[in-house]
Amino acid sequence: MLLKWLFLCCCWTLAFCQADVTSESSRTFNLSSLKWTLKNQNGSIAIPAGVPSQAHLDLHKAGIITEPLLGINDFTQRWIWMDNWTYTADITPFIDTMDNQSQSTILIFHGLDTIANITLGEQPVAWTDNQFRQYSFNVTHILSSIDDAQHRNLTVSFESAYFYGLNVSKRPDAEVLINSDDVCCLKKLFEVPGIRQWIRKVASDFGWDWGPAFVPSGIHKPAYFVTLPTETKDRAGPSIWIEESSIEIHKKGQVPSVEPDPSADWIVNVTLGLRATSHVSPTMKISFPELRLSSPDIALRPVPGGQDSPTFVSGTFTVPSGVPELWYPHNLGNPKRYNITVELTPGGVSFTKTTGFRTIVLLQQPYPKEEVEARGITPGDQFHFTINGKAFYTSGTNIIPFDPFYARSTTAQVRWIIESAVKSGQNMLRIWGGGVYQPSDEATGVYNFYEICDELGILAWSELIFSDSLYPINPFLLDTIKPEVQQNVRRINRHPSLAQWAAGNEIEGIVENANFSVNGLHYLNEFVFLFQDFLHDVVLSETTSIAYTDCSTTSGYLSLDPYILRFRNGTVGEIYGNSERYNYDPSVAFDYSTYPVSRYVNEFGYHSMPSFYSWEEVLESPADFFFNSTVVVSRDHHPPAGNLAFPNPNGPQGQMQMEQAVRLWLPTPGTSNSNQTFAQWCWSTQIFQSMAMVSQIAFYRLGAGKPENNLGALVWQLNDIWQGVSWSSIEYSGRWKVLHYGESQIFAPVVIYPFWTAATELLEVYVISDRWEPIKGIATMSWYTWQGKILNTKNVHFSVPSLNNSLIQSTTGLTNILPAGFNETEVFMKLDVTATIDSVTVTNEAIFTPSSLATAVLVDPKILVISHSDLTFTLSAKGGVAAWAWLDHPAGTIGYFFDTTTNSPTNGFYLIPGQDRTVRFLLNSELSKNQHPDPSEFVVRSAWNNTHT
């Protein structure tokens, strides 16, 4: 009896499949505790499997395949996604836990990837076609009919998404979508072309220009049986189960995209999707224990019993304005969260979750004439966010899926990525619309995302999963898209980090181009139906306060109510919407005339190689460790093949763009040690990437005080999906690239930056602040030779208004800029700024090199590294100046370096003789395989090592 009780404790969890829910009646059985098997279609493979999991992961665990990310496995393992896979489990352990009382049973899948046929006891349950939906099925009658122990299997059979896509796109009612280079290069976007638009599945599963095509399948999220005892003569009252919940906090009278009355009270709206075993008229009570506030019992609409779908009920509670502390992004205030408890009677069901009080508004209305005249703003529409009624600068990056196989992502991995964004000064992450709806907790989503954003104070620009394509509007797709969007908007509503809902990625520009093609108006009308009308109405049916935009990059709208898109209907000279920039000509990387003059730039980037350490994780032969080796180039998907050709025939183009950038702006790597040369090439591509992105961020931040009033810069991209060429600032393992340290400098609240216009030889030095309060401080500009001799120093006191900049130097002509007697290859300027924020001294630094480092007269820096306790290192230049002095931490370690004086992330700096730098490596012990790295395994390098061992 004791053993059986222990087993039950392992298998049963609380109702609603979350640990913060209690119930007097319903119980939840975790399907991960069953023994699963996985078979391919012809039965030649039959192995143990797991839930949540995906076929590739189970095959790897069983030793059938090697790690999918190894070598060229993205090519050699294509057979997996060209097969059908079936998961089967004997549910006897679940049946053994059921007592003899009458009860109702619901089978719930929080995610199925993707085309699945479900049977229970050899009886059909459902067919599913949407990876992004939660599915719940009443299987009471099926279970009651199972009396044979041989027919107790739960089976989920997955059809190859590839072959399904080929078939469904050939349906008689499937229209032919434009797929040509004339419409945003659609042919080149994918490895598996032409089918993803017809499948509600992660778009990047079919390949992207930064990742592989594995087209996985499996029960990729948690799944459960939920049992509800029914009313009998021995048990009074119905059982209630919460299938879905939505908690939204907004100001009274608030509508999306319009600034609410700040003095209005808060409205707490709780919506629940309920199932009951018999008819019930429940009441709800809403409480905030920390605020000592509770609602009276709120009468809800009746819930019928025994239904096959949930009944949605809502209750509201008013919280007086001024009572709760407001939630802010971490760099603007305290991300204050509160517990909210919801109780239902009868049934004894209650749950507690975290939420926060804030208003977040995306303003896109025209700038008022008086503001245009008073501030000198270029006329047109606004495009910026406000938090609690105040405009602010959004600094951040874009995220992609954390792994090609969703089921093996972990909260620890995701937390590190988000923490790294916060440490680098970011206050917003954009969740790219070709990936996934990020989860809220592990119990339903494998890992946690939004709660971490809430806790750490970083906003989440969220998107519906549509990306880089025209989309069909067939009824069979709309019928599954609607509940997909409703479920995810409801779930995410409670998170104060939620910033907006964009309906997709880059599609507005695609349809504008398609409009000039044959039958173009037809595609434009379909876009208007889907993105202006249908998705807009679905999203706003579930939220009262969060803005909806049709696309990540948009020209905005002509009318908010009714919602009518602007497209290209604007006045010449005015500014509308937001922008992107991708330019792979490295000769114009620092040419400001090629940067968009925009209200907001939500994508801009340049690709780079991962580090030597990341390549060691996946390259299998010494012959592969070369910049243009076959395997390395095969993992450069920029531009993508556009078909199943392997290796990517377009990979050399992406390699060439990185190579040209390095040769133009840095010493060309080449030493007697081939591994060092390869490592320096990898690192040098990262240096150029950082230089180019920091230049753009500085320009866009400067725009906050210019006529464009730019209030947002989101770099493409933050994280990696594998070890390959990408735009990321953090590698797949969690290792920071040079760019991430660069972002920690340029995303600081107060920065100094030299804007150099080579064509006119104009040097302008600005101090830029994104603080709400005016900032005062002192800037120092010092010229040095590459030998480390200081030539002159200039100090300037400055004052910067709120969200603005201050010009502290403007000089034209190299003869007037350079120290006398020196040319541009012999000297550089170091710029430092010191200011006080909230009684704390903050610093920032930048470097101006009047010539490319490719032609600069560098000197051997002779770097001396002295290690101290706690992985602390002091670096000294005993020769000349070390340009881009860089410390690498050993393989198997994850963490970052910070300056022990400023406590700011620091790496990739200019190490000047006589100005030692002491940094400490802070190890992430949860992710690091090497828990006790030897200080001697840390490697130091600089630009000098590109050409010297």
Closest by alpha carbon to 132, among 527, 485, 446, 411? 485
- Across the range 930-946, mean pLDDT stands at 97
Q: Is 407 exposed, middle or buried (0-12, 13-18, 19+ CB in 10 A)?
A: buried
**The pair of three-digit structure tokens given for residue 939, joined into one six-digit string:** 């490697």
- Across the range 721-733, mean pLDDT stands at 98
Tens digits of per-residue pLDDT, 854-884?
A: 999 999 999 999 999 999 999 999 999 999 9
Look at residue 8 in the predicted model and tell me its pLDDT: 34
Lowest-confidence segment of 176-185, 510-519, 936-945 by average pLDDT:
176-185
Q: Is 48 exposed, middle or buried (0-12, 13-18, 19+ CB in 10 A)?
A: exposed
Residue 930 in 3-state DSSP? coil
Q: What is the pLDDT of the chain when averaged over all its residues?
A: 94
Does pLDDT of 567 surpass 50?
Answer: yes
- Across the range 538-546, mean pLDDT stands at 97
**What Å distances lie between residue 444 and 231, 674, 905, CA to CA?**
28, 48, 34
Look at residue 4 in the predicted model and tell me its pLDDT: 33
Residue 903 in 3-state DSSP? coil
Look at residue 472 in the predicted model and tell me its pLDDT: 94
Q: 395 - beta bridge partners? A: 713
> What is the percentage of the chain residues whose pLDDT exceeds 70?
95
**What Å distances lie between residue 371 and 366, 374, 382, 653, 687, CA to CA?**
10, 5, 11, 47, 40
Look at residue 9 in the predicted model and tell me its pLDDT: 35
Look at residue 98 in the predicted model and tell me its pLDDT: 84
Look at residue 232 in the predicted model and tell me its pLDDT: 61
Tens digits of per-residue pLDDT, 309-343?
A: 999 999 999 999 999 999 999 999 999 999 999 99
**The pair of three-digit structure tokens given for residue 323, joined into one six-digit string:** 């009572």
Look at residue 21 in the predicted model and tell me its pLDDT: 58
Tens digits of per-residue pLDDT, 377-391?
A: 999 999 999 999 999
Alpha-carbon distance 543 to 536, whole Å?
Answer: 11
Strands 12-13 and 775-785, how do they pair? unpaired
- Across the range 914-918, mean pLDDT stands at 98
Does pLDDT of 775 surpass 70?
Answer: yes
Alpha-carbon distance 466 to 478, whole Å?
Answer: 13
Tens digits of per-residue pLDDT, 277-313?
A: 999 999 999 999 999 999 999 999 999 998 889 999 9
Look at residue 22 in the predicted model and tell me its pLDDT: 59
- 19 pLDDT band, cuts 50/70/90, is very low
- CB count in 10 Å sphere of residue 314: 14
Does pLDDT of 189 surpass 70?
Answer: no
The predicted model scores a pTM of 0.96
| Helix (H) / strand (E) containing 923 | strand 917-923
- 187 pLDDT band, cuts 50/70/90, is very low
- Across the range 444-465, mean pLDDT stands at 98
Alpha-carbon distance 415 to 421, whole Å?
Answer: 10
Alpha-carbon distance 49 to 46, whole Å?
Answer: 9
Which of these is catalytic: 343, 506, 542, 708?
Answer: 506
Q: What is the end-to-end Cα distance of the chain in Å, rounded?
A: 70
Q: 846 - beta bridge partners? A: 831
Q: What are phi and psi of 593, to 5 degrees?
A: -70, -15
Look at residue 307 in the predicted model and tell me its pLDDT: 87
Alpha-carbon distance 814 to 731, whole Å?
Answer: 39
Does pLDDT of 5 surpass 70?
Answer: no
| 243 is annotated as an active-site residue | no
The DSSP code sequence of 243-286 is EEEEEEEEETT--TTS---TTSPEEEEEEEEEEESS-B--EEEE
Tens digits of per-residue pLDDT, 425-454?
A: 999 999 999 999 999 999 999 999 999 999
Look at residue 687 in the predicted model and tell me its pLDDT: 98
- Give Dmax (Cα) for the chain: 101
Alpha-carbon distance 121 to 146, whole Å?
Answer: 6
Tens digits of per-residue pLDDT, 790-833?
A: 999 999 999 999 999 999 999 999 999 999 999 999 999 999 99
> What is the percentage of the chain residues whose pLDDT exceeds 90?
90
- Across the range 685-691, mean pLDDT stands at 98
Look at residue 3 in the predicted model and tell me its pLDDT: 32
Lowest-confidence segment of 70-84, 145-159, 559-573, 593-607 by average pLDDT:
145-159
- Across the range 934-945, mean pLDDT stands at 97
Does pLDDT of 149 surpass 90?
Answer: no
Look at residue 514 in the predicted model and tell me its pLDDT: 85
Residue 371 in 3-state DSSP? helix
- 147 pLDDT band, cuts 50/70/90, is confident
The DSSP code sequence of 389-448 is TEE--EEEEEE--S-SSGGG--HHHHHHHHHHHHHTT--EEEE-TTS----S-HHHHSS-
- Across the range 91-109, mean pLDDT stands at 88
State the residue for tokens 């030779």.
785
* Three-state SS annotation for 514-545: HCCCCCHHHHHHHHHHHHHHHHHHHHHCCCCC
